[in-house]
Each structure stands twice: as C-alpha cells, then as structure tokens.
Amino acid sequence: MTDVFVRVAVDQPMHVLFDYRYALSDAPAVGLLVQVPFGRREVVGLICEIAATTEVPADKLRSVTAVCSECAPLSEAWLALAGFGADYYQRGLGEVALPALPQALRDASRWSRLFAVEPHYRLVPEGRAQLPDALPARASALRRLAEALAERPTLGLSDARALHPKASATFDDWLARGWIEPATLEAPDMPESDAPSIAAPLPVLTDEQRDAVEAIANARGFAPFLLHGVTGSGKTEVYLHALAVLLAARPDAQALVLVPEINLTPQFEAAFRARFAALAHGSIVTMHSGLAEGERARNWLAAHTAGARIVLGTRLAILASMPKLAMIVVDEEHDPAYKQQEGLRYSARDLAVWRAKQLDIPVVLGSATPSLETWHQAEQGRYTRLTLTRRAVADAALPTVRLIDLEEERQRGRASVEGLAGPLIAALKARLERGEQSLVFLNRRGYAPILSCDACGWVAGCPRCSAYAVLHKPERALRCHHCGWESRIPKSCPDCGNIDIAPMGRGTQRVEETLAAVVPGARVLRIDADSTRRKGSAQALFSDVHAGEVDILVGTQMIAKGHDFRRVTLVGVLNADTALFSHDFRASERLFAQLTQVSGRAGRAGLPGEVMIQTRYPRHALYQALTRQDYVGFANSTLAERGDARLPPFVYQAMLRAEGRTLEAALAFLEQAAAGFAPLPGADRVTVYDAVPLTIVKVFNVHRAQLLLESASRAALQASLRAWQPVLRSLKGVLRWNVEVDPLDV
C-alpha cells in the first residue's frame, strides 16, 4: 500500500505546514479537520495539502490519529480566504484558520457529542390543550419551555436546556404524561416555490431606497457599493429588500450581514426573522462571541452546511464557512469595532470586500459617516455610491444641532450643575413635561475618571498600569479599566491622611446621579459596560427604553448607533472636546462619526429632534460641519488634509509593537528590529519611524512600545514585512511582539 502524507496547519505562530503520515480508513481530503500529535500534546489541525512524498525522516514522521469525517471539508474558497488573511496580516495559516472555528470543533474529544443526533420533541394535541393550565403560575422556566414547544415544529434538548436547566427531566415527565413525543428532525426542503415570502406588508420605499435596491439587485459579479444614508434613512430596509430579491431568485443562496456590536444583533435578528418568516426554522442564525459554545457551534455548522440562509454576526462572522455565499452586507462599516485588536488583527470590513471579490458577488457597505478609506474608494470610482439624503419615515426630519458655548455660559454667570449647562437642563425638563424621551451621551463610564487629594496632589492610580483608577461610586470601588485591578475607596489620602479626597471629572454614573437631582420625577436609566455585564441585560434595558418606561437615557457609545428610539426627541452631548486635541490623526473622523450617530437617535418618528452639544470651541470646523449636517464637506476637507500630510488612505502603514518587563527592553527590541529591517529588499521604499512608548505605557506590569512603518506602496510594504518575519523571530529580550497591518490606533 502506498503511503499517503498530509500537510497540516496547526494553531501555532509558525509560517509552515507540518507533514504527517495518513493511514486512517477514511480517505484524506483538503479542508478536513484532523487530530495530530504536536510536541507532547494532541491538537486539532487542518489538512491543507495531500502529498505522495515527504522530506521528513521516517523516524521523525508521526501519524494522524483521528479525522472529523462528520464535518464536511472546508472549501477551497474558505481556505483561500484564510490564506489571504494569514499572508496579508503576517500570521501563520493555522493562526487564522483554527481560531475561526468554534471551540467545539477545535477539541477532538467533543466531536462525537457535537455530531451526535440530538433528541427533539414536539407537542401532541393533548399537551397543547392541557399543558398551559397544568403549570404553576410562577414557574417561568417551565412556561418558557411550553411556549417554545408551542411556537416551534420541534424543540431540541440543547435549546431546551438553555431555557430551563432541568429540561431533560422535565421532558421525561411530560413524555410520561403524554403531552409531548419524540420527533425526528429532518432537513428542511427549500423548493423554488418556498422562496422567502414576506410575512407582513412591505414598507413603501422612498425613491432613493428603491434606486438603491434596484442597483444592488441588478449587480452582476463583484460589485462593491457604498450605501451612504443619513441616520434614519432606512438603510436596513434597503438591506432587507435586496436580500429578499436575492433569496427569491436563488433558493440555495446564502447572505452574510455584519453589525459592529453584539448589542445590535437582537434588533437586527428580530427584523430579519419578521421579514423572512417563511424561511424554515434555523435558516437565520447569529454568530458572535456572546453565544454559548454549543449554540455557536450549531450556528457555524448550519452556515457550513448551507442550512442557514442568512448569518447575522459581528466581525468574527466574516470568517464563517458559507459555501453558497452570494451577498455580504457590512452595516456601520466605519465602526472601529470591525478591527480586531488582539490575536489576528484583521479588519472584517476589508476582508468582506476581499471575500466578495474572490467569490464575484456584491458587497454593501452602509454608513451615515463612511470611513475616509471607503469614501476615498468611492471618490476614485472604485465603489458605487448609493445615497439616501432624507429620512424614510414621513415627516421625520434630521434633528437641529445646537452648540452650547460653555465659556459664554460662564462669562454670563450661568452656572452649570455638575457639568450640565442650564440650557440643556431646561430642555430636559421641557421634554419630560411633554412626555418625550431624552438621551444624554458621555463616552466615559464610571463615576469619575480621577480621585485626588487637594492637599498633597495624590491621585489614585493603578499599581499595575500607568493609568488612573476610575472611581465607581455605586460599587464603592476604584477600578482600572485596562487590567481589571480593583480596590476599595480609601477613607483618607494614603499619602498625607487628608480626608477631603474628591472625585474630578465625570462619568456616566455621576451624570445619572446628577440628572436624578436636577430633573425631579424623571425616570433615569444608565446603559454602559458596567450596567450590562450580565448576559441579556443590555437587551432588557433597551426594551425598557422602547417601551417608554424611561424618560432620560444616559450612556456611552453603546447607545449611540443603530438603535431606533422612537420617542427620543432630545440628545445632549457632554465632554466631546477632549477628542479635538488627540494625538491620533483619526480622532476627528471618529468624533464626527460618533456625534453624527448619537445625534441620529433624535426625531426618528416624526417629532422634531434637537441635539445640544456642550463645548468650549463652538467655532471649530468639525462642530460647524456637524451643525450643517455636512458629512460630505467634512470628509472632503479631511481627505485633503490627509493627502497634504501623506497619511492614510494615501499611504499604507504597519505597526510593530513590543511588550517587555521594562520599557528599556521593549525599546531595545524595536531598535534591533529597525536595524534588521534596513538591509531588506525594498526597505528603501518604506519609512521607519523611531521607536516610542505607547500612550498607556504599562498595562498589568508589562511595558509597551511601538515602531511605525509607512509606505506609498502597499506591495512594497507587504514584501518587506514578509522578509522581516525571520529577523523578528530571531530577536530575543521581550515577552511578546506583534505586527499589525493597517493599524487604527497610531
């Protein structure tokens, strides 16, 4: 028998494949998951090549120990996507391919359970008639089980356990009572006549929406679209209509819809399920890091087997295996959340465009404030721009933007109350009297960013980071937002004993407290990362807002984008000025996008909306453009500045970061790396800047520094980075290092 060898990618920081002998009864195939010995461990890898020979000596060659034959091989297109990501972002193929899979597939011991036939159950007529009355009034978990059985054709045991931890024993009891029966889960057929009909009358599209839908629906092959629509213009409706046309024309097609944050997925999922109610159960799945491992694995497999027609997800969903993928939508494409900031530092938006080109399909990038990179592509004619200039709801106009000059308020003797200017307080009270809702935006959580002593100048800091500890008053704690260190609030200054230590600055907790005092009778709700730590809490809080049980909503960027608050007519913005003077050249772009997005929460249901921004710099060009709702003017002027300064998107960047036990060690590593870069081919076309410490130089007792590289040629930069990898791997002296291509934070 002729030996067969396979070359396997494993999740290791190495740019090589590993040879193994393949002697199992199942035939090998490229794209199969296998279990292989690696060092002293058994790991899961991915077959990338099959060969008849190997250069590994026979005494060192090891054998594949198991194969996941139940999982269909990953397609050549998916492997090409992983290969591109590895090459472009300077990582090993295994570092891209394996982490993109759900954890259950990366653990060979779980394969048998993952692919075992799961028991399913369904209600029988006796159960449908008797079960509701037989349950105790307060048995909420049992009632959820009964409701799920009544709503679905069948209910799997794993889904049932997510509703009630004792679902297995409960089903045994209900089986004995004759209320339910075992059900065979069959793969749903999707004949052409079962195309996704619409469950409710479709909203009437505006002329602009109709033109956008037609352009997307009529696209053939690779077609990148920028859907530039003002807030509330109905971009989601364009997505829904375009996908309905696609799925009706191609009953086997799949679509991928990306959203920037987990808390936006529930409302998107509800809209898609309502619109495509005729699709079989399980044809719409979500994919994000907040899912339980079992649910994520099931959803991934549904996409991999083309059972899922629509996948809604955050950035990790761009690496989902979807063999029938026919359209990609990236909502809020400008959002920095699409850029992974650890591990494989990829941009999901950029990979979406590459994947669409690879598969020769349309990709829609939607935003009210497109990233300047995307805007530049549209200006150059590489992307087709589709524009929605007005709001979709009849009589709903864009809100009026008003600037509150804090310096003028001070000069006129109009005192603010804990950072809230008089005009904003008066506007909040007026909305409360009219029964309307208000939103106050401050992108800083906690009670106060600083706790200090006036007597000696002591400031509460994190002992493990070069950062201040944030005061969290409700929890009576000081907390570091970088490493998680936490301590009780001291009763006096640790340095001089002064008991008059006081908070400086304001976070959302302090604003919440102030609003409750200055707007009596108002129901104030805070939504930020602290108030939404428990699973499902964010959705519950947003439901309270939509139900009208909140008068004033206070929050961070979590409330700024994507949410359709129908009763909000006033938006107040606090402390936006700090971003005007950031060292990051992208700060103004992000601030304009952030303020536009949060402003867009006002006046969405026909009631006049108003936005009040507190600032000491009302004549700043950014604020002036915002009052005119002039994104185009802002984008073009900012692009011109970037061009003059030779900044992205007119040049391409990469960043080498090093982490060491001391700052000197990190800087020394980067200086050696720069010296090793100079002799490389093409290095003369790349500018290498001096190594510098990061703004927050120490995190969790690790010191960090960076080295910026820049080139007018993407190809030259990429070639140099590839040649640089062996040099970097040969250097010692630091704990970790990583190369980030197209960094967002410079």
Bridge-based pairing state of the strands 692-699 and 702-711: antiparallel
Bridge-based pairing state of the strands 223-229 and 384-388: parallel
Closest CA to 205 of 242, 176, 248, 178: 242
b/e burial code for range 202-235 (CB count within 10 A of at least 16 → b): eeebbebbeebbebbbebeeebbbbbbbbbbbbb
Q: Give how far Cα 458 sits from Cα of 198, 372, 408, 483, 652, Å.
A: 63, 42, 32, 21, 43
- In contact, 703 and 662? CB cutoff 8 Å: yes
DSSP assignment letter at 193? G
Tokens at 283, concatenated: 């044809």
b/e burial code for range 314-335 (CB count within 10 A of at least 16 → b): bbbbbbbbbebbbbbbbbbbbb
Question: Any known ligand binding at 71?
Answer: no
Residue with tokens 């929460």: 601
- In contact, 622 and 580? CB cutoff 8 Å: yes
- First vs last Cα of the chain: how many Å apart? 58
Q: How far apart are CA 183 and CA 208, in angstroms?
A: 48
Closest CA to 44 of 79, 9, 13, 20: 9
Question: Any known ligand binding at 48?
Answer: no
Backbone φ and ψ for 203, nearest 5 degrees, come out as -60, 150
The 3-state DSSP class for residue 40 equals coil
Question: Any known ligand binding at 465?
Answer: yes
The number of C-alpha atoms within 13 Å of 51 and in the hemisphere containing its C-beta is: 16
Number of other residues whose CB lies within 10 A of the CB of residue 201: 6
SS (H, E, C) 411-478: HCCCCCECCECHHHHHHHHHHHHHCCEEEEECCCCCCECEEEECCCCCECECCCCCCECEEECCCCEE
Tokens at 188, concatenated: 């749903």
Question: Any known ligand binding at 68?
Answer: no
Q: Going along 139-282, which residue ranges are E strands?
A: 155-156, 180-183, 223-229, 254-258
Q: How far apart are CA 524 and CA 336, in angstroms?
A: 29
DSSP assignment letter at 711? E
Backbone φ and ψ for 623, nearest 5 degrees, come out as -65, -35
Q: How far apart are CA 90 and CA 478, in angstroms?
A: 39
Residues 6+ apart with CB under 8 A from 399: 571, 599, 600, 602, 603, 608, 609, 610, 611
Q: How far apart are CA 571 and CA 610, in angstroms?
A: 6
Q: How far apart are CA 561 and CA 557, in angstroms?
A: 7
Closest CA to 99 of 348, 260, 320: 320
Helix ranges (DSSP H) in 520-662: 537-546, 587-599, 621-627, 631-645
Q: Give how far Cα 206 sits from Cα of 235, 258, 363, Å.
A: 11, 24, 22
The reply to whether omega before 520 is within 30° of 0 (cis) is no
The 3-state DSSP class for residue 379 equals helix
Question: Any known ligand binding at 456?
Answer: yes
Question: Any known ligand binding at 483?
Answer: yes
- In contact, 587 and 579? CB cutoff 8 Å: yes
- Mark the binding-site residues, compressed into ranges: 453, 456, 462, 465, 480, 483, 493, 496
- Mark the binding-site residues for Zn(2+), compressed into ranges: 453, 456, 462, 465, 480, 483, 493, 496
